[in-house]
Amino acid sequence: MHCETCPFPNAEAMFDLYKNDAGVITLEELALVYETIDQDGDDDVTPPTPEPAAEFDAWVAEQTIPETDYFCFAEIHNEWHNGYSFFAGHDCEIYDLTLTVMARKSDWDEHLTNVSSDAQELGCEDIGAFDRACRYFITPRNAKLGIKFDMDADVDLYYETEWTNCVDEM
């Protein structure tokens, strides 16, 4: 063992378990590592499996924005992974994107299972009798957003985009 209280044989083994395709460990994932350290010093601690939130963040990080001939391309899609995984991201270095995602109120209230941990939600409002619109701020430095609904959701999603000059560049 690298140390008496570490549940991993070395730092590389810990990194291999938790790193995402971007090759990084988030602060939340690092906290999970520390939670597994055995306080009494015996070596019977087993490494944890990544939490669903960490797995979803890893899925969001793995999504790519395709290279196109278009300036400031926004990639928005939905995939099935034992539920509906919605992804939105952009490759624009000079604009921020405010994305409004609209779905049934019941989907937001009863079937939302995850939102990427670094999402910048600007707020939600009910629209009409059955729907809700939630706004997210997507910047060049935080260019990906993931939203997950369970398998029982309607997931009749609509979205609107609003591009503005990048706040970081002003």
The domain segmentation of the chain, as residue ranges, is: 11-50, 65-169
86-118 pLDDT, tens digit each:
999 999 999 999 999 999 999 999 999 999 999
112-122 pLDDT, tens digit each:
999 999 999 99
* CB < 8 Å & 24+ apart, contacts of 20-29: 20/57, 20/58, 20/61, 20/62, 21/58, 21/61, 21/62, 22/61, 26/54, 26/57, 26/117, 28/53, 28/54, 28/57, 28/117, 29/54
Which range in 9-13, 21-25, 80-84 is most confidently predicted, on average pLDDT?
A: 80-84
Best CA proximity match to 34, nearest among 22, 48, 24: 48
- DSSP summary character for residue 107: I
pLDDT at 53: 85
Instruction: Give the alpha-carbon dihedral of 51, 56, 61, 66, to 10 degrees.
Output: 160
Q: Could you give the C-alpha distances from 105 to 46, 56, 91, 130, in angstroms and in order? A: 41, 22, 30, 6
14-27 pLDDT, tens digit each:
666 666 666 666 66
Work out the mean pLDDT of the chain and round it to a whole number: 83
The token pair at 136 is 């997210």
Q: Give the least confident one: 9-18, 51-60, 109-118, 134-143.
A: 9-18
Give 47 or 125, the one with higher predicted confidence. 125
pLDDT at 81: 87
Class of domain 65-169: mainly beta
pLDDT at 89: 97
Question: Element (H or E) spanning 62, and its range?
Answer: helix 52-62
pLDDT band at 2 (very low <50, low <70, confident <90, very high): very low
Q: Give me the count of residues in the chain.
A: 170
Report whether pLDDT(44) > 90: no
pTM of this structure: 0.69
